[in-house]
Structure 1
Amino acid sequence: MTRRKNDTVPKSTAPAPAAEVGDAGKLGKALLVEQVTEATGLTRQQSDAAVSAALQVIVDALSSGKTVGLPGLGTLSVKTTAERQGVRPGTSERITIPAGRKVAFKVASTLKASL
């Protein structure tokens, strides 16, 4: 059977499967709290406080220049960047990008092997 330009393709009448939270490929804080609640038996409020506290400790450590090791996940560290030359998009003007700091992540070998 050949299709012509004006032929319509019949659409499936079956409903699309319901998308679960997190199906989009991102594990946000709310879903993380939910999973911690299920895994530990803590209340949702306790899990939220625990996750928030852990994230704040990590942010504080990185802000002070410390390295954060997360067993089975990887290592977060702060790297300094050198001043460098760049080009402003659209105008092609040469600009100097100042030195700064950035967060770097090195994946744990156990996680890398399991992917």
Structure 2
Amino acid sequence: MSQPDRETCRLVDHRDGLRCVRCGRSLYGVAASRHHRRRRSQSSKDAVHNVENLILLCGTGSTGCHGYAHEHPAEAYEAGWLVHSWDDPLEVPVRSWRGLLLLDADGGTTTVMRTSQTDMKAVA
């Protein structure tokens, strides 16, 4: 299975601040992964590892927020942690501990809506 290149990893890690996108947990020294918003099997080889298709989540595919996203697909699609095969990850915002964000291909974000501290307690 192919992996994102170093520059893509650097851009994703920097954009997400080495924190889990869902809960905001620092990922220093804990199990974490770069999660594909549009599943690998649904992406072209050219787009599977695009920066806008990857987010940092704590845990693995079966633990932490990464596992949560896969166990709760309806919520994950609504939150943008998963993206349908027919959607463009550039156009689907991600619900993050920082707010609702559009991800770009260069490792940047555009804030669609900020998240309050009260909202964050509901995620954690």
> So what's the TM-score if we normalise by structure 1?
0.28
Greater Rg by CA: 1
Q: Per chain length, whose mean CA-contact separation is higher, i.e. which structure has more relative contact order (CA < 8 Å, sep 6+)? A: 2
Higher strand residue share: 1
